[in-house]
Structure 1
Amino acid sequence: MKTRDKFLLSAAIASMFAAAPAAQAADKITLMVGGYEKIIYLPAKLAEGLGYFKDEGLNVELLNEGAGVDAENEMLAGAVQGVVGFYDHCVDLQAKGKYIESVVQMAHAPGEVELVSSKQPQVKSMADLKGKTMGVTGLGSSTNFLTQYMMVKAGVPLGQFTSLPVGAGTTFIMAMQQDKIQAGMTTEPTVTRLLKTGEARVLVDLRTAEKTKEALGGTYPAASLYMPTDWVEKNKPTVQKLANAFVKTLRYINTHSAAEIAEKMPKDFYVGDKAGYIKALEGGKAMFTTDGVMPKGGPETVLSVLGSFSPNLKGKKIDLSKTYTTEFVAKVK
């Protein structure tokens, strides 16, 4: 082939490729979950299992972090783009000058339970835990926030009880078995595991909206997808895809049985007790929203709870409208 002919052929091939649409690579997103085996954060793994992220053209990597406060720190450091964790961090961080917002509100109840060890039969109320050591997932975590609020509300000032970070699952159970903690706040399926063995009993139940209102004075929006506000503003198409996937997942939860949902979850989440996992999920499904929308009055309850004990909020003016957005969930078809 002559040199001129080779040049023309190469030019034709180059023109053909230039005219073809470029293959769209999936958007790579990394989300940190504050313990993705916890039922309160079930939508993250369920969305992955149902293929909803891929359906939206997203390549989502879920990283696991046992405490929400540690997940929050990873996001602030720029290691991840968002966190599946409690909304109350959005309020707490604004008081520190950092703006993050809930873009999908997954739950309108914490799904947490204050358990007391069966070795403490004299404990009948939060006030009886004065001088005791209480388990939380991490210092600065939502379990710590709620524990501090309920103790102060019961008339026990900060400093007259101890919060000990013990994580969740097996580490929480071992801490209670070894009497390192006399009570503690945890989630399903850890709650069901301890109740089944009789090693603990329920002191305060925050697994439903009704019981949460009794204990906290109002609706307490909890599990959410929260992200830095500046990142959301710069990446709206990607955030919309995430909202689409999570709202579809919430609809799935609302329209399927606990047994059907359990089948979509990793088998090791059952911790050897599938029936117990399904039972816990049946009792906890009601905590999830059906549309990802922030419940009315919820942010105000969170601010009231945190403001009652947290020195971070003393004298600070919090703009709740900047702690969440419904822009994306409102557009989900």
Structure 2
Amino acid sequence: MENIYEFYNPVKTFVGADSIGQLKNILIDYEKILVIAWNKSIFNMSVINNLKQHKTIYELEFSYSNPTLENLLEAYDNSKCFDYDIIVAIGGGSVLDVAKTLACIKNTTIKSVDDIRNLINENNFKPVCPWIGVPTTFGTGSDVTCWATLWDVTGGKKLSVENTKNYALASIVDFKLGESMPKTLAITSALDAVAHATESYWAIKRNPTSKCYALTAIKFIMDALENLGGEQYMSQIAQGTMFAGLAFSNTKTTACHSISYPLTMYHNIPHGVAVSLLIGPMITLNKDEIEDTKSLEQAFGVDDLGEVELKIQAIVKKAGLPFALSEWGIGQSDLDFLADNGSTKGRIDNNPVKLNRDDILNILNKIF
């Protein structure tokens, strides 16, 4: 008898050009809606204006990237007086992560960042209202996962708000919403999704369904990045990001993400670039534990997994960005500190090969 495995993701997804028009039908039973968006212009979209004719719409602009606890507190303070019964988040992963967190703390009394920090440390989060994710940058897959990323700058930690009951009511993947993205943002976002899929493929918590989604995601996105600007490239990236999100919604990420967090927090390396720097070295370290390497090679479009790093390097350079830590202003003397802070519980221990602090330091030296 084959081993029994479980795959769970309850998010209803709408995919395709102009699929944002489905909001009207999804919201038919809701009267009071909080719309969180990355830019005020979103509030004037025709689909939102149409909703305003029949619903009570509250508007909250959230324009921060990599949201901190302070950013979340500001969003909470700005929306706590709104009497909404569902949240619609339109924007990148940061907007979606804040939305799904607000869905959990809506009826909680919060007066300080310490209150938020304590809630997260106690894992005392339960959704009290549903939310809908409408991504406009395609990379995080946050619309189909049940956790949110927040940054504790004071504590020097990346924090995760997670509850399996906090999946979105629905996700709308309308690739036309991403067509105006600058090339650099499109590439860095897509590389984040490639990392999600790749890490999901080898994660300890992998299963046959997650692996299938992961391979599909990698192929869709890598093909699109080789044809950047082509007629179908944004559609491929949007769908690939969704598949990557479905994959790692069940597996979480591994060492690439864990080691990348301090690179973003302390040196402002864009998250998608930070994780992509680590894919090649981690493929080398994990290779003996990767099942069916041939399928992974085919997804990346290479003859050997050793070629992946050069392929990703070419993509990053296409975005006009550096591919070495030293080119991001990081000094050799910084690596010890980065290694000390490169282990995030739930990520580093999800890697198929166990890594200690010295292993992390060696990896950082390789990409220096």
Q: Please, what TM-score do these two structures have when normalized by structure 1?
A: 0.28
For CA contacts below 8 A with separation 6 or more, give which structure has more relative contact order.
Answer: 1
Give the structure with the larger strand fraction.
1
